[in-house]
């Protein structure tokens, strides 16, 4: 699964990277985004795109209450087109989840961060939905699609979030893209590096750049 990630870039950098009009959002750098927290997501908006804050943990429009979102932070690529919780969103409510890294925990509980060599922004393949709360307000939520782990991630965890190649992001958002084309995008991403980080990230309340900094190991890691 993907249960924590980082997005420390400014609104200006997000707008430039994803070709957006500068949004009026106040965003702080985030080094330990956790489920049930709000995070920036890129949505299709008419012929263009918009950046919006959505809560992580998808609540389907038909859900009786919002508690289901805690179980739907991820959607498996193998079943996302058939599962009732996701198939409607897969068809017409796809999104990009900006990130510059994500965390996974090894069997010995050591946390690792995975990112691009350049540490630049990338995007997870996401889905979103809107749910009407008892107070009548529409609450938008999202989930991150996962797939089998790449060779870099596999020594730590068997699954990883789907990272979209930059040139395929508009294809993912395009409403008319055929399902088979979309399915072909749900594959492991290989161009990543990994390093151990502080156990600070074990707490969802932890924040700050120290969460994402490399730390030494007492023994060689999986790749050294």
Tokens 């985030």 belong to residue: 30
171 counts as catalytic: no
Of 38, 50, 104, 207, the catalytic one is 104
Q: What is the DSSP letter of 211?
A: G
Alpha helices in 6-128 (DSSP H): 11-18, 87-92
The question of whether 13 is a catalytic residue gets the answer no
E strand spans, 77-179? 94-99, 101-105, 111-115, 122-132, 138-148, 159-161, 163-164
Six-digit token string for 180: 């088979």
Residue positions annotated with a catalytic role: 2, 104
């Amino acid at each position: 699964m993907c249960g924590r990630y980082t997005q420390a870039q400014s609104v200006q950098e997000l707008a430039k990277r994803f070709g957006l009009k500068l949004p009026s959002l106040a965003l702080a750098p985030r080094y330990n985004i956790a489920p049930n927290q709000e995070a920036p997501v890129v949505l299709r908006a008419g012929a263009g795109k918009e950046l919006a804050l959505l809560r992580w943990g998808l609540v389907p429009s038909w859900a009786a209450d919002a508690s289901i979102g805690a179980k739907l932070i991820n959607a498996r690529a193998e079943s996302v087109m058939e599962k009732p919780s996701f198939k409607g969103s897969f068809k017409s409510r796809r999104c990009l989840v900006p990130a510059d890294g994500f965390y996974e925990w090894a069997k010995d509980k050591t946390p690792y961060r995975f990112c691009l060599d350049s540490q630049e922004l990338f995007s997870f393949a996401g889905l979103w939905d809107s749910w009407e709360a008892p107070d009548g307000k529409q609450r938008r939520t999202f989930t991150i699609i996962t797939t089998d782990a790449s060779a870099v991630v596999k020594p730590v965890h068997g699954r990883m979030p789907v990272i979209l190649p930059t040139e395929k992001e508009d294809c993912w958002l395009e409403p008319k893209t055929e399902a088979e084309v979309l399915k072909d995008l749900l594959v492991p991403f290989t161009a990543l590096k990994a390093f151990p980080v502080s156990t600070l990230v074990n707490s969802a309340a932890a924040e700050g750049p120290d969460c994402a900094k490399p730390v030494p190991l007492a023994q060689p890691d999986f790749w050294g």
